[in-house]
Amino acid sequence: MITSRLILLNLKSKSILPLSQLNIIRPPKAPPLIQRRTVIGFADKHTFKDEDEWIRKRIGNREIVGYGTNGEPEYVDRVDYPFPSLRWKPPYPEIQALREKEKGDWRLLSIEEKKALYRANFRQTFAEFLAPTGDWMGIVGVALILTSIGIWLYMLLKKYVYVQTPMPKSLSFNSQQAQCARMLQLRTNPCTGLASKWDYEKMKWKSKPWYIPWEDPYAPIIECEEDLD
């Protein structure tokens, strides 16, 4: 994987060129309208007049070796764009010596030297940046914590706050049955909803929905006592 990703940089070439010779490829020049850029990340909002000066301020002395994802000098590990426009590390003396050796026969490079060259150019291997991160566990954990807080709050309110306060009449058992009867009479959601589960000829459930707590299929067809007042 390490050697193949290094070799794929030069698929169009008959001979394998070292990566150090690829820094002649640079992103296209920016249009004149955006030649002046402002870096908002600094407290004093540093403004640069020159495009190359702005790029150097961002990337330091790392080499630009290709077009990347959008022509901008940035590093990102992606499957659809496997070759970033920048090297991952700046050219320090040890890796420069390896790049000189890289210009020769690659069979003379040891496995450790190939790994060092790879890590100087790329931050991660494909297996590393495609591996599961486990972030979903934190998201699920936070969701469960918030859900449990809501359940406990509901239980406390029901036990200590609403115990002396009369509940609305619409929450009574008879009222809920009457509401269900009205929904059936109005044929609410006849395709896949409540009305689709009711047989209007036999006046009983075809298949009782799980959210209907009444076992008697004729129970919804009643009149609420409050409606008679």
- pLDDT per position as a tens digit, 76-86: 898 888 889 88
pLDDT at residue 24 in the model: 39
Task: Name residues of the chain where pLDDT drops below 70.
Answer: 1-51, 215-229
pLDDT at residue 143 in the model: 98
CB 47 within 8 Å of CB 36: yes
CA distance 90 to 156: 60
Place of tokens 């918030």: 146
CB 18 within 8 Å of CB 102: yes
Burial of 147 (0-12, 13-18, 19+ CB in 10 A): exposed
CA distance 145 to 171: 29
Please choose, from the candidates 209, 224, 227, 229, the residue with its C-alpha nearest in 3D space to the C-alpha of residue 173.
Answer: 224
CA distance 191 to 189: 6
**How does 109-134 read in b/e, with b if 16+ C-beta sit within 10 Å?**
beeebbebbbebbbeebeeeeeeeee
Which amino acid is residue 59, in one-letter code? Answer: I
The radius of gyration computed from the CA coordinates of the chain, to the nearest angstrom, equals 35
pLDDT at residue 57 in the model: 80
pLDDT at residue 37 in the model: 38
Q: Where are the domains of the chain?
A: 2-129, 168-229
CA distance 186 to 195: 8
pLDDT at residue 50 in the model: 64
Yes or no: is domain 2-129 CATH 2.40.50?
no
| Angle of CA points 133, 138, 142, to nearest 5° | 160
CB 120 within 8 Å of CB 30: no
The answer to pTM > 0.85 is no
